[in-house]
Amino acid sequence: MTRNRESATPARRAGAPRLRPVGESPIQPGSREPHAHNNQEPPRDRSQAILEAAKQVGALLKRNGHTFALAGSVAVYAHGGSGHLRHDADFCVRRADAEAVADTLTEAGLTVRTPPEDWLLKTTCLGQEVDLLFELGHRSVTSDMLARAQDLPVDSVHMPVLAATDLMRALIEPFSEHHCDFGPVLAAARALREKVDWADVRRSCGDRPMPAAFFFLLERLNVIAPEKEPR
């Protein structure tokens, strides 16, 4: 389900920016359409493309007064992690705010989609996927979580970024027998190690097998200190 069809022209508030997907180059009246092989742009750096999409959407949400926080690999980058970004840009919003956020994006010319999963909305900005999440690590996005977000520069745009402890919890908690790719999360843990309340993250999810295995790996690699044995 989409908020506006691809063929429709969405209504926009005065002053709302019209975002154009990467590679869209409208033909001016009287000009000739170029041949396909001449119209292809060189491949863009994927990480930079994701970063630009995050900046566009973050600036749009901030300008319209929405409560949100950047999450995912772009949030790790904002906290000082790797610039090698993965898959898409993620934003946390409260479920109660989803309709207003979707309206803002639609008015800016973005198509908001409702996937089968009932815990997020999706859109595409500048050719990159953007997820609007109501849940992180099987936990609802709450006002308290968003209040803990830090205002950080994301390249050249300041925006609320999920606190490091909440971010690591969201990355570790979903680990299961069907989802246990430790590599990217290990890199994030190394980058954020000094910012995370690891005891808090352990209390949240460390008693389940896969998160516990990840904590064991972090200990063996000296990323975090071993958990103290109770006396």
- The reply to whether CATH 3.30.460.40 applies to domain 44-162 is yes
| Residue pair 57/20 in contact by the 8 Å Cβ criterion | no
* Contact call for residues 137 and 170 (beta carbons, < 8 A): yes
User: Which one-letter DSSP state was computed for residue 134?
Assistant: S
pLDDT, tens only, 1-52: 555 534 343 444 444 444 444 333 332 333 333 333 333 343 358 889 999 9
Q: Is 80 left (phi over 0), alpha (psi -120 to 50) or beta?
A: left
If you average pLDDT over every residue of the chain, what do you get?
82
pLDDT at position 222 over 90: yes
Confidence of residue 87 (pLDDT cuts 50, 70, 90): confident
Compute and round to an integer the Cα radius of gyration of the chain: 20
**pLDDT for the residue numbered 179:** 82
Its pTM stands at 0.79
Query: What is the pairing mode between strands 157-161 and 139-140?
Result: unpaired
User: Residue ranges of the domains in the chain?
Assistant: 44-162, 164-231
Nearest to 126 by CA among 56, 25, 36: 56
Residue 208 has pLDDT above 50, yes or no: yes
